[in-house]
Chain A
Amino acid sequence: AQKITQTQPGMFVQEKEAVTLDCTYDTSDPSYGLFWYKQPSSGEMIFLIYQGSYDQQNATEGRYSLNFQKARKSANLVISASQLGDSAMYFCAMTRLTGGFKTIFGAGTRLFVKA
């Protein structure tokens, strides 16, 4: 069975500083994808970044990067130069790349950006 663990219920970061949100996962599938989504107070989940299990390089999307450590089964999200608008819930998610169609989510981390 697949499982996503996010151990930080809440995080604080000063505006313009970098922050790392932790995510560990468990799966027996050799081929999987990892995602991070942002959920503002409006409720809509917004895709941030994707990493495939066979990708050699860590994914980056603007101010977002994914620190993928396959042996440790971790997929931490790094947000550089935090902005006030980054205050939101952040969810780590995983899907099987073959033989399955559902995406599973962790419990989330609430990020507070301080001015």
Chain B
Amino acid sequence: DAGVTQSPTHLIKTRGQQVTLRCSPKSGHDTVSWYQQALGQGPQFIFQYYEEEERQRGNFPDRFSGHQFPNYSSELNVNALLLGDSALYLCASSLSQGEATNEKLFFGSGTQLSVL
């Protein structure tokens, strides 16, 4: 049973460029959340996708966008990269249970993005 997989594992970009990160959820899961984790800090919620739509969004600018595909996989896109976007980007999957959100998250190992 495959867990959450993310690609690539590492990425180096320069300021102003655009980047796309990919995530495949755990088998049987239908919901994908993206988090940004700066060095030495806790993960910060970017947004969550369910049924191919953004269901909730954190306090991130519009440069951060995403997509969910019919097979539940997801992409995170970041435009006009800034030095401050350097971080570990974590994808987490879960099985939606309607209004209840007590389901635990299953995380991938993340994509380490460095912006030079």
Contact = CB atoms under 8 A, between A and B. Distances in A.
B56 A45 contact: no
Interface string A76-101: 00000000000000010001111111
Interface string B18-62: 000000000000010101000011111100101000011010000
A33 B106 contact: no
Nearest to B43: A105
B101 A33 contact: yes
Contacts of B17: none
Given A102-B33, A104-B45, A44 B107 contact: yes
Interface residues of B, number: 29
Main secondary structure of the interface of B (DSSP, over half): strand
Contacts of A104: 45
Contact of A96 (B31, B58, B101, B106): B101
B45 A98 contact: no
Contacts of B99: 97-99
B48 A101 contact: yes
Nearest to A104: B45
B88 A43 contact: yes
A44 B108 contact: yes
Contacts of A6: 42
Contacts of A46: 107
B104 A52 contact: no
Interface string A15-45: 0000000000000000001010100001111
15 contacts: A37-B107, A42-B109, A43-B88, A43-B109, A44-B108, A44-B109, A91-B42, A97-B100, A98-B99, A99-B99, A101-B48, A102-B56, A103-B101, A104-B45, A108-B42
Interface of B: 31, 33, 35, 40-45, 48, 50, 55-56, 58, 88, 90, 92, 99-102, 104-110, 112
Interface of A: 4, 6, 33, 35, 37, 42-47, 50, 52, 91, 95-108
